[in-house]
Amino acid sequence: MQVGRAGGHPTMTHTLRALAVGTVSAIGALLIAGSALAADPLMERARELFKPLPASIPVVKDNAVTREKIELGKMLFFEPRLSASGIFSCNSCHNLGLGGVDGLETSVGHGWQKGPRNSPTVLNAVLNVAQFWDGRAEDLKAQAKGPIQAGVEMNSTPDRVMAVLTSIPAYTARFADAFPNEKQPVTFDNVAKAIEAFEATLTTPASPFDQFLEGKADALTDAQKAGLTLFMDKGCSACHNGVNVGGQDYFPFGVVEKPGAEILPPGDKGRFTVTKTADDEYVFRSPTLRNVALTAPYFHSGKVWDLRQAVAVMGSSQLGAKLSEQEIDQITAFLHSLTGQQPRVEYPLLPASLPATPQPMLR
């Protein structure tokens, strides 16, 4: 029998050689693909400024997030009886079906009063450095207490909230489960902690931009990649960066040129009302741009309804740049890539009021 030079069957020898060549080629292709991915300059540059949104629930300072606390917080988030009128809940101004906002210029509250500012999204708010446009609440616990007590919002009081909740046995049982080591678990502080725990779950991972940052080069369209490049080149990322693409610091509205009074009301001096420092006049916390395509109208005044117009205003006011129509289109396309997976929240069944439950106050 004829044998090959190595003493084996020629067909087997050729097969082994082909397998070896195929294996080497496959490994080479993977290495080339990996090198190309690592060498993607836009992706590498973006990774220096931004981070993908984590899929897990973020850690909350001084508030262990448990299943029982989340479930209670969800009930309280949708509970209209936390308001004096029995009409308004957290979801009224932070509608989870509308990108975490109410879609109004400024929110409407007790007695159909209009609030002074546009309602920021609750989605990913747990990742902000502070809450409210002026940063007056250090975290979501502090934020949750504000609207409940604000006269133009829910117009209630801690005492009334406690009276409502303690009159309903189903709620007292829920608080006992959520705060098992406390003698008096039904407190206004624990209302805020439960709401914060639920709101910490309202993140929106897996946006096209997140996927791009994680290495999926084709997650963004060519227009979105061009917009991302402009977003960094023009300086937008100076204020809007990090895991939340904003929400991490305070900046003047009108760094180069203040917009007109129709967009920047002169009576609202922003963070100045908190710090009483002259340098903080018309300074606001930069908003997160995640899901921004869902959260019109824009700015603290809610005066701009079109995202393209908002981009143009930012270009002139913050950057001193008159953006071309193509640049506006490309940056807007990039902003659309920040829309992530929306939370799927089942509307909770709330326990019925009893004779001892305080009745609604409509005035």
What positions carry a catalytic annotation? 153
Name the nearest CA neighbour of 333 among 191, 251, 245, 223.
Answer: 223
How far is Cα 117 from Cα 152, in angstroms, rounded to an integer?
Answer: 11
Burial of 123 (0-12, 13-18, 19+ CB in 10 A): buried
Query: Distance of CA 58 to CAs 128, 345, 346, Å?
Result: 11, 18, 21
Query: Distance of CA 193 to CAs 1, 62, 69, 226, Å?
Result: 84, 9, 8, 42
Residue 51 CB contacts under 8 Å (≥ 6 apart), including other chains:
213, 242, 243
CB atoms inside a 10 Å sphere around CB 85: 18
Q: Please give the structure tokens belonging to residue 351.
A: 């326990």
How far is Cα 150 from Cα 327, in angstroms, rounded to an integer?
Answer: 41
